[in-house]
Amino acid sequence: MNQDSQLERAIDRAVARLLRPLFRVLLRHGKSYRAFEEVAKRTYVEVAMGDFGIPGKKPSIARASILSGLTRKEVQRLLQAPALDDAEAIEHRNRAARVLTAWLRDADFHDRQGQPLALDVEGERGFAALVRRHSGDMPTRAVLDELLRVGAVERLPDGRVALLTRGYVPRQGAREMVGVLGADVADLIETIDHNLHQDAQAPRFQRKVMYHGVPVQALPAFRALSAERAQALLEQLDRWLHDASQDGAPGERDAPGARVGLGIYYFEEVPPEQGQRTGERT
């Protein structure tokens, strides 16, 4: 078997593996293969048109047809379908997440021990002031409703707003969690694609630690330890990125910037039979 065939088989195995958890999500929510196929074909066409054009030439239906293997008629139909992107909802979530992280970082909204205060809605150090300072022109009510809806904050009996979590991770609502699926998995695949095809001198960080055969009774302790350490690191990086985004002259701060970040996720799989304990890092 030549190298091209080996690479093709490796890609097939990788795609099959990443599709398994995705298909579990789709089947659990009643999405048929036909519905998945329609989304897949359309995305294939959009990527072919947007990312694989010939320099100096306008993207064409004919080229998208050749790259995707679809007919020109099918490509034309898919390009005329309504857009799937929900940019307004994404921006809404981003603004809410920005307020949440600012609450953890901004000392004006902390107690003497440096912990986030429960805030009155109005007032000089109230929730509305936090929103105005850190979310631009987003209405206070809209941000509060979003954070309440995903379980990140709660309303106390006296009317104040209290922080429940230290990160924007929806705890209720399939729609929000599916949105996280699309955003976070896409970022990971983008990083892997960069490391496969870009300059080896500028790889993006991509690591994990994994052990086989860890006793099941040890898992709760590791969940707690990993969550605590990961949260501390993310908050440290959040402060660095905030400070970096504020550096420079006013004109420089208004210039277009890059979206940058680092994601951490926890995983576990408990097989029917426990094997020997072995360590592995990748």
Residue pLDDT, tens place only, 170-180: 555 556 667 77
Across the chain, mean pLDDT equals 83
pLDDT at residue 251, as a whole number: 55
Instruction: State the Cα–Cα distance between residues 80 and 42, nearest whole angstrom.
Output: 10
* Residue 278: predicted pLDDT: 47
Phi-psi region of 232 (alpha: psi -120 to 50; beta: other; left: phi over 0): alpha
> pLDDT for 233-281, tens place per residue?
988 898 888 788 776 555 555 567 788 999 999 999 887 654 444 455 5
- Which ranges of the chain does DSSP label H, i.e. alpha helix? 3-28, 33-51, 61-68, 72-79, 87-105, 127-134, 140-149, 174-197, 219-246, 250-253
Of 107, 108, 90, 97, the closest CA to residue 166 belongs to: 97
Q: What is the pLDDT of residue 25?
A: 86
Between 225 and 271, the more confident residue is: 225
Is 78's pLDDT higher than 80? yes
Tokens of 225: 């330890």
Q: Are the C-beta atoms of residues 274 and 212 closer than 8 Å to each other?
A: no
Report yes or no: 108 and 126 within 8 Å, Cβ to Cβ. Answer: no
Architecture of the 87-163 domain:
Orthogonal Bundle (1.10)
Assess contact for 47 and 73: CB atoms under 8 A. no
Between CA 57 and CA 138 the distance in angstroms is 40
At 141-151, the pLDDT tens digits run 888 888 888 78
**Structure-token match 């409703």, residue found:** 145
Contacts of 198 (CB under 8 A, 6+ apart): none
Q: Give, in order, the Cα–Cα distances in Å from 236 to each of 101, 241, 257, 268.
A: 11, 9, 20, 26
Three-state DSSP at 82 gives coil
pTM over 0.85: no
